[in-house]
Amino acid sequence: MKRLALAAALFAAGCASDPPPAPPPLVTYDETPVRARDLDGAMRDGVAFLLRTQRPGGYWGTGCWFAGWDHVEMDPGSPEAFKVATTGLCCLALREYGTPEALEAARRGEDWLATGGARLRRQHDWEIYNIWGHGYALQALALGYARETDPARRELLRKGADAQIDLLRRYQTAYGGWNYYDFVAGTQTPAMSPTSFGTSASLVALREAKDAGLAVDDLMVKRAVRVVERSRVPNGAYTYDFDPLSINAYHNKPKGSLGRSQACNEALLAWGSPKVDIAKAKAFFDTLIAEHRFIECGRKRQWPHEAWYATAPYYYYFGHYYAARLLARFPAPERAAAARELLPFILPHQEEDGSWWDYAMRDFHKPYGTAYAVLILLRCRDAMRAR
């Protein structure tokens, strides 16, 4: 208890020394009017928002402000986990956007991830939000490592990435894969069944790390791939977690799986699993398009899982990001059409300040939502240019 109190005090001191410029306005759940933007203009304004909101230390978000109904979390570890994950996503978006100003900001964020971000740890025996930080920090550091040429900078990024890979290994559940809770035993090796989508996000990051030339534990990957494979339902959906008894739960129906199943298909394709192929991934992408109203109705809801089929708000840009990653895997003649189907679910939701968001969460929701959206739009643009 003394350690928790000390940690909370240090976190509060950090908020006092580095708060946002002003408390964010209380969010509303009505769609705010936005001006029409074309694809390039939307990306430009989204990147401008990310550049404008980067903190002096190189990260995004502070965790110091509350919307008033934030979900279950504990200080100081949970907001630190979200800060690291958000920063990783923002670095990915800016590095992929690729202008000199965006690259400079991405490098500042990567430097922070490679040093301060590596200190992220589990907050509590049952709360393991840090796995999101490890996954997206790794993905950002791997991309930086792959694209940088300066040996000293590559070494910094390698060390940071290696630290995140080691932490993913340490927090992998007893089943393989990852969960951000452990309500079962709170043991050092988490005992609760892993989630399909969280495991898939980490698998995508590990694939990019391996492709960049970083050392990745093959056994860790094999165990995680097995979790996602066994979460797949014959109708193309993926169960929420590694529990075959839940296959008939309403939230595991295709309409409830729209957001998480795109990540699962991307992860299995990335690691060459025989359980899914391009045709199956494309079929469930088409399900996302056809049944989109069931993920749309969860966007900007106040509480997680209150929408039809237990859709949660924070699946929205997460799910569309991994759907957009699939575009490059589709046959070339189908890519442009699929991208045009995806765009109407992203472009109209940009806020007047250039941001996107799907779930109010301290001061992280706009940076992470905007990063996801920019990453989606970049892939849509590339798919529409493909021949």
Of the candidates 70, 198, 194, the residue with the CA atom closest to the CA atom of residue 134: 198
Amino acid letter for position 6: L
The residues near 373 (Cβ < 8 Å, ≥ 6 apart) are 42, 46, 317, 346, 349, 350, 356
Instruction: Give me the phi and psi of 316, to 5 degrees please.
Output: -65, -65
Of the candidates 337, 313, 317, the residue with the CA atom closest to the CA atom of residue 327: 337
CATH of region 35-385: 1.50.10.20
Mean pLDDT by 10 residues, the chain (387 residues): 50 60 59 75 97 96 72 75 96 98 98 88 89 97 98 97 97 96 90 95 98 98 97 92 65 87 98 97 97 92 84 92 98 94 95 92 93 98 87
Dig out the tokens for 148 from the structure. 């940088």
d(CA 267, CA 286) in angstroms, rounded, equals 18
pLDDT value, residue 71: 63
C-alpha 62 chain-centroid distance: 17
Instruction: Give me the phi and psi of 195, to 5 degrees please.
Output: -90, 145
**Taken in order 300, 198, 372, 333, is the CA torsion positive or negative?**
negative
d(CA 36, CA 215) in angstroms, rounded, equals 45
Element (H, E) at 157: helix 151-171
Of the candidates 276, 318, 58, 66, the residue with the CA atom closest to the CA atom of residue 180: 318
pLDDT value, residue 31: 63
Q: Which residues pair with 140 in a beta bridge?
A: none
Taking the model in full, what pTM does it have? 0.93
d(CA 108, CA 104) in angstroms, rounded, equals 6
pLDDT value, residue 33: 60
User: Please, are residues 83 and 364 in contact by the beta-carbon 8 Å criterion?
Assistant: yes
Dig out the tokens for 247 from the structure. 């296959």
Fill in the DSSP letter of residue 241.
Answer: B
pLDDT value, residue 27: 59
User: Please, are residues 290 and 271 in contact by the beta-carbon 8 Å criterion?
Assistant: no
Q: Is cis: bond before 76, omega within 30 of 0? A: yes
The residues near 58 (Cβ < 8 Å, ≥ 6 apart) are 87, 108, 109, 111, 112
pLDDT value, residue 76: 75
User: Please, are residues 34 and 351 in contact by the beta-carbon 8 Å criterion?
Assistant: yes
Amino acid letter for position 161: A
Amino acid letter for position 176: G
Dig out the tokens for 236 from the structure. 């193309």
